[in-house]
């Protein structure tokens, strides 16, 4: 197993390809503006033995919101059918390295898997190095994924209403600054622009460079410069709960454990008529 609690290198993964108990997960997902199709790219060429994790499918089927965390039973059924057990060493990757892979890792960890890592540099870096790809369908033997949900890592709408009203936790918003300030439109129709009162703008892109998380000293400066006190609790948020996990990952890298992810994020808050919204930088 890797000595790093969050990341594995491409060299490490290449060395361990085919090892029993190792599950490789393509957790790629993209916004329409990125002009990439995750499944098409996976089918054209993926890391050998990788299975595809569909962020639009591993969700609560009864929720009208995008990317809502599924029930324990739904998650266990889907990832079990992908051949993954909670005891596996799970390596997740996306295209650029730190976009949707952190959300995938967060979900696995919330659902009880402990040995979950992210491939540093993503498959884009893997391809740039000229490493081996496969266009063959990965052979899957269904497995049993035994879920033990860590509900304490998830914030609900009711939690957020209370936090906004009482300020007992900081809110870190991963959306781009323009959307946070309400000057750029939301990519989803019907959402108001702006942010939750008291929230801080921590654009997810400010926490990485070249597909890798910033060195810890730079990462700490970036988080604190955004107005986040690392000695206090934090709730992370974004558009639909995907890039919020990048902030959650950054907090973990900095040793901060008192944090939750608001799963509904702006897709929920910005779409309701009675939630308070403010515009501007703060």
Q: What angle do CA 82, 86, 91 make, to 5 degrees?
A: 70
Residue tagged active-site, from 82, 160, 191, 238 = 238
Nearest to 247 by CA among 187, 212, 205, 281: 205
To the query of whether residue 238 is one of the catalytic residues in this protein, the response is yes
DSSP-derived 3-state class of residue 155: strand
The CA-atom distances, in angstroms, between 97 and each of 28, 29, 76, 125, 211 are 9, 11, 25, 8, 4
Spatial CB neighbours of 161, under 8 Å, sequence gap ≥ 6: 275
Rounded Cα distance between 271 and 71, Å, is 23
Asked if 223 and 256 count as a contact pair (C-beta separation under 8 A), the reply is: no
Cα 56 to the chain's mean position, in Å?
A: 13
Plot region of 255 (φ>0 → left; ψ -120 to 50 → alpha; else → beta):
left
Q: Which residues are catalytic?
A: 238
């Amino acid at each position: 197993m890797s000595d790093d609690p969050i990341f594995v290198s491409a060299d490490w993964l290449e060395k361990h390809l085919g090892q029993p108990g190792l599950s490789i997960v393509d957790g790629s997902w993209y916004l329409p503006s990125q002009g990439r199709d995750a499944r098409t790219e996976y089918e054209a060429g993926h890391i050998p033995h990788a299975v595809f994790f569909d962020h639009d499918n591993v969700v609560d089927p009864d929720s009208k919101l995008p990317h809502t965390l599924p029930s324990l039973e739904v998650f266990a059924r889907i990832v079990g059918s992908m051949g993954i057990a909670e005891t596996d060493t799970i390596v997740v990757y996306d295209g650029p390295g730190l976009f949707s892979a952190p959300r995938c890792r967060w979900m696995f960890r919330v659902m009880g898997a402990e040995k979950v890592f992210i491939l540093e540099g993503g498959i884009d870096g893997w391809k740039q190095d000229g490493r081996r790809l496969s266009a063959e369908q990965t052979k899957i033997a269904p497995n049993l994924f035994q879920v033990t949900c860590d509900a304490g890592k998830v914030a609900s709408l009711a939690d957020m209403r209370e936090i906004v009203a009482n300020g007992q936790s900081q809110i870190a918003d991963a959306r781009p600054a323009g959307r946070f300030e309400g000057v750029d439109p939301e990519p989803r129709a019907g959402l108001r622009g702006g942010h939750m009162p008291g929230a801080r703008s921590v654009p997810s892109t400010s926490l990485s460079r070249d597909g890798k998380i910033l060195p810890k000293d730079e990462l700490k400066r970036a988080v604190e410069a955004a107005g986040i006190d690392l000695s206090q609790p934090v709730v992370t948020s974004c558009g639909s709960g995907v890039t919020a996990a990048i902030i959650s990952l950054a907090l973990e890298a900095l040793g901060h454990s008192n944090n939750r992810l608001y799963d509904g994020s702006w897709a929920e808050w910005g779409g309701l008529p009675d939630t308070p919204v403010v515009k501007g930088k703060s």
